[in-house]
Amino acid sequence: MLNTALERNDLLRLLALGVLVILEGLAVVSTVLNITLLPLGTIYPNVDSVTILVLPVIIGAVSQRLEVAIVLTVLPFFLLAVIYTTVYAPVWNIDLFQLGVLAERVAGGAFLLGGLGAFGWLLRRTFNRTTHKG
């Protein structure tokens, strides 16, 4: 019985992680492409900015492992960078020097998202401590 409850909780946690990563991806796409996905009027940019800062922390808090927290928070941004490079910068136009410039442009955002995911994971570990009696 206990095993079934744990499997159900893990399934719900993984579904929540998937939904959160998709929402983060939509927020990143909305910001990068400067498009409005929700009809919120003039406060949409503020809501989108807060979403990009809060969702990685929540994803990190829901993740059980540090590696998963960092990978899932950086994944939407990384996929956007790969798609952008594929669509707008054909391989024959990229040399080794341009790769460094392109990586420099996205490194700050990738490290910010990964750091926020790690921060969320650390928050979870800090507040989810259980006392072990031995």
pLDDT band at 39 (very low <50, low <70, confident <90, very high): confident
* pLDDT tens, residue by residue, 99-130: 777 778 778 888 999 999 999 999 999 988 76
The total number of residues shown for the chain amounts to 134
CA 22 from chain centre, in angstroms, equals 9
Distance between CA 116 and CA 110 in Å, rounded?
10
* pLDDT tens, residue by residue, 48-62: 999 999 999 999 999
Whether 7 maps to a domain, the answer reads yes
Question: How many domains does the chain contain in total?
Answer: 1
Question: Which of the 8 DSSP states describes residue 102?
Answer: H
Whether 15 maps to a domain, the answer reads yes
Whether 134 maps to a domain, the answer reads no
pTM score, whole prediction: 0.80
Whether 132 maps to a domain, the answer reads no
Distance between CA 50 and CA 73 in Å, rounded?
15
The amino acid that residue 16 corresponds to is A
Whether 133 maps to a domain, the answer reads no
The amino acid that residue 2 corresponds to is L
The more confidently predicted of residues 90 and 38 is 38
- The mean per-residue pLDDT over the stretch 32-59 comes to 89
Whether 8 maps to a domain, the answer reads yes
What's the confidence (pLDDT) of residue 101?
75
Domain hosting 86: range is: 2-127
